[in-house]
Amino acid sequence: MKIAAKTLKLFAAIAKTVAPPPVLTVSQWADEYRRLSSESSAEPGRWRTDRAPYQRGIMDAVNDPECETVVVMSSAQVGKTELILNSIGYYVDYDPSPIMLIQPTLEMAQAFSKDRLAPMLRDSPTLRDKVKDVKSKDSGNTLLHKTFVGGQITMAGANSPASLASRPIRVVLLDEVDRYPASAGTEGDPVSLVTKRTTTFWNRKRIMVSTPTVKGASRIEDEYLTSTMEQWCLPCPSCGEHQPLEWERVRLDDATMLCDCCGHHHTEIEWKSGIAAGKWVAQQPAKKRGFHLNELASPWKRWSEIIEEYHDAKSDDEKLKTWWNTALGLPWDEMEQQEDDDDRIELDEETLMSRREEYGAMVPDEVKVLTASVDVQGNRLEVEVVGWGRGKESWGIEYRQIVGDPAKPEVWGKLDDYLDRIWRRSDGMGLRVACTTVDSGGHHTSEVYKYCVAREYRNVWAIKGKGGIGVPVIGRVSETPREKAHLFIIGVDDLKSKLMTRLKHQATGPGYCHFPVNPDSGYDIMYFKGLLSEKKVIRRHRGVKRVEWVKKSSVRNEPLDLRNYATAALEILNPNLEAPARLIGDYNASIPPKQAVKKRRGRMISKGY
């Protein structure tokens, strides 16, 4: 009998060893095996899909054999990065495959690997021994490429053609696709490039996740509109009818939401008490599964917080756009917003001309700091000096030309004299230009670099404009190889959008743009035509829609460029505009040149430039 019992126990152990693993979905795998890390989660420990039940349907769509593409158009604060991590963990542990994760930039891919992926691999026991640490000898793994039995995961930047090099991939994870460049170098659309790598796999998967940007040019919106367009719906506490959580039905004064069916208002707690009965409801049939989420569904964000953030953003189009994208998970429709906003004005040069005013002095007393910008043409320099006060309220001080060949030193000498001026407020206080940006992207690039590198101690910086969604206003600074000048890449599209928003403000205060009526200041009708010389349009480039700024007519656009570059100078300087002007106006004027250069370079490094 003892022998028989031992034999049965042995056979049971063998059967358990050779038996196929249980059939699991991504959410089931995560509930069983995923562990959240303390440095990347406010709730470390075992993963619980029930904490945010809407995640279950999205994760399990990955296991749908009829579905090749899963699309998630969402707000922030809903756990969309965790959806990606759970999918990675599932395929590493349960269904080994070649995987590629694409982030908007190579730097973001590196950060994801270090800050999000590495902690999950370390703290989830089932994954810990399957992917060796990067520091392990002969691990075969690097920061951006990790191997495991049966597959590997490669992390790449959409802006880096080399990182998208040919390799067969079964599972493609595309994060924040609306921030991808239109082309990876000269290779073409990064989404199409990486999708082609999956063609040899019959069971390929493509998971696209992003917060949307601008309506009509949002890639995630295009993908969502051709999907099942599923919405997370909760039952009404009164009538039980399932419906999505929509901002239009939120009452702002008491943070309640209207039921579309019975007309009752209920609080957030009342609506979310039925979260266990929540379900995804598709709006159209499609093989591509698509999901939309907003912060109203999030267990980590209160409705009262969302309303408060809305009130903070609603008076500023750029802030409202960001809130609309990141809180509601919806693309921003600029035309619709303009039509709904009766407080905004249609911009034209005559309107701006009529707003010119008497300052009473060259520089109004409200100005705390001055910045300047320089545009280099073939036969002249164009310069604008702008004053800044609280809330980035601005005052055009002077717009002028320095005529002459920029290849000759005397032209740059005249610029020196101009930038060395002391500008007086009516209270007698004198201000110098605290920071100057010089455009190097056009004529006489070498002369620009030589001029700037010798004057960096005076905060004179070479810049180059770069268009495109997702390009930061101030990018990382590089060093030119020959002249050793520091070169800032400036996100001009974002600057132009911010400027157009500020120009629409009718009430003085934060963001408002003032212009002097003094005819010698240079703010004439041609200046304002140049300031409004471009408009935003949506164009298709290599099959991908994107937002571009194009000229309206043959009017020169130097005034627009210069105002944006003067704004960039303010962002580089980053002064405390709430402080008294005497503390920030004459910026570092008393520091000897070499010490000033060292201090400012240290400041740039600390800012991440």
Among positive and negative, which fits the CA dihedral 591, 595, 601, 604?
negative
Same domain for 364 and 295, yes or no, is no
Number of domains in the chain: 2
The neighbour count for residue 400, using CB atoms within 10 Å, is 14
Q: How far apart are CA 280 and CA 82, in angstroms?
A: 19
Same domain for 601 and 486, yes or no, is yes
SS3 helix, strand, coil % of the chain, rounded to 5? 40, 25, 40
Kindly state whether residue 376 falls inside one of the protein's structural domains: yes
The neighbour count for residue 127, using CB atoms within 10 Å, is 20
The pLDDT tens digits of the residues spanning 200-243 come to: 999 999 999 999 998 888 999 999 999 999 999 999 999 999 99
Q: How far apart are CA 233 and CA 247, in angstroms?
A: 13
Kindly state whether residue 574 falls inside one of the protein's structural domains: yes
Q: Which residues contact 438 (CB under 8 A, 6 or more apart)?
A: 373, 374, 376, 448, 451, 452, 460, 461, 462, 463
Residue 587's closest CA among 407, 459, 399? 459
Q: What residue has token string 């056979």? A: 11
Same domain for 297 and 365, yes or no, is no
Q: Backbone phi, then psi, for 451, in 5-degree steps?
A: -65, -45
Same domain for 586 and 507, yes or no, is yes
Kindly state whether residue 310 falls inside one of the protein's structural domains: no
Same domain for 296 and 395, yes or no, is no
Domain containing 567 — which CATH number?
A: 3.30.420
Same domain for 294 and 432, yes or no, is no
The neighbour count for residue 120, using CB atoms within 10 Å, is 24
Same domain for 444 and 298, yes or no, is no
Q: What residue has token string 């040069």? A: 349
HSE (side-chain half, CA atoms, 13 Å) at 226: 6
- Residue 460 pairs with which residues in a beta bridge? 436
Kindly state whether residue 490 falls inside one of the protein's structural domains: yes
- Among 255, 274, 303, which residue terminates a domain? 303
Same domain for 286 and 394, yes or no, is no
- Residue 145 pairs with which residues in a beta bridge? 154
Contact status, residue 585 vs residue 434, Cβ threshold 8 Å: yes
Same domain for 117 and 6, yes or no, is yes
- Residue 393 pairs with which residues in a beta bridge? none
Kindly state whether residue 105 falls inside one of the protein's structural domains: yes
3-state secondary structure of 340: helix
Domain that holds residue 10: 2-229+282-303
Q: How far apart are CA 259 and CA 266, in angstroms?
A: 8
The neighbour count for residue 606, using CB atoms within 10 Å, is 8
Question: What's the CA angle centered on 392, arms 389 and 395, to 5 degrees?
Answer: 60
Strands (E), 302-456: 369-376, 380-388, 394-403, 423-424, 430-431, 433-439
- Among 272, 303, 334, which residue terminates a domain? 303
Kindly state whether residue 352 falls inside one of the protein's structural domains: no
Q: How far apart are CA 4 and CA 20, in angstroms?
A: 26
Q: What is the pLDDT of residue 20?
A: 55
Q: 70-93: string of b/e by CB count within 10 Å (b at 16+)?
A: bbbbbbbbbbbebbbbbbbbbbbb
For residues 63, 64, 66 and 68, what is the CA-based torsion angle, rounded to 10 degrees? Answer: -50
The pLDDT tens digits of the residues spanning 469-484 come to: 778 888 888 999 999 9
Question: What's the CA angle centered on 76, arms 73 and 82, to 5 degrees?
Answer: 80
Residues recorded for the chain: 609
Residue 244's closest CA among 284, 282, 290, 301? 282
Q: What is the pLDDT of residue 548?
A: 81
Task: List, for the chain, all residue ranges whose pLDDT scores fall below the cut of 50.
Answer: 17-19, 338-344, 586-609
Kindly state whether residue 319 falls inside one of the protein's structural domains: no
Question: What's the CA angle centered on 261, arms 260 and 263, to 5 degrees?
Answer: 70
Kindly state whether residue 245 falls inside one of the protein's structural domains: no
Contact status, residue 181 vs residue 158, Cβ threshold 8 Å: yes
The burial class, CB within 10 Å (0-12 / 13-18 / 19+), for 591 is middle
Domain containing 189 — which CATH number?
A: 3.40.50.300
Q: How far apart are CA 223 and CA 226, in angstroms?
A: 5
Same domain for 462 and 586, yes or no, is yes
Q: How far apart are CA 78 and CA 86, in angstroms?
A: 14
Q: Which residues contact 367 (CB under 8 A, 6 or more apart)?
A: 387, 388, 389, 395, 397, 425, 431, 581
Pairing of strands 205-210, 171-175: parallel
Same domain for 289 and 410, yes or no, is no
| DSSP string over 301-335 | S-HHHHHHHHHHHTTSHHHHHHHHHHHH---B-HH
For residue 256, the surrounding DSSP H or E stretch is strand 256-258
Q: How far apart are CA 232 and CA 224, in angstroms?
A: 14
Residue 502's closest CA among 345, 365, 360? 345
Q: 413-449: string of b/e by CB count within 10 Å (b at 16+)?
A: eebeebbeeebebeeebebbbbbbbbbbbebbbebbb
Same domain for 222 and 114, yes or no, is yes
Q: What is the pLDDT of residue 589?
A: 40
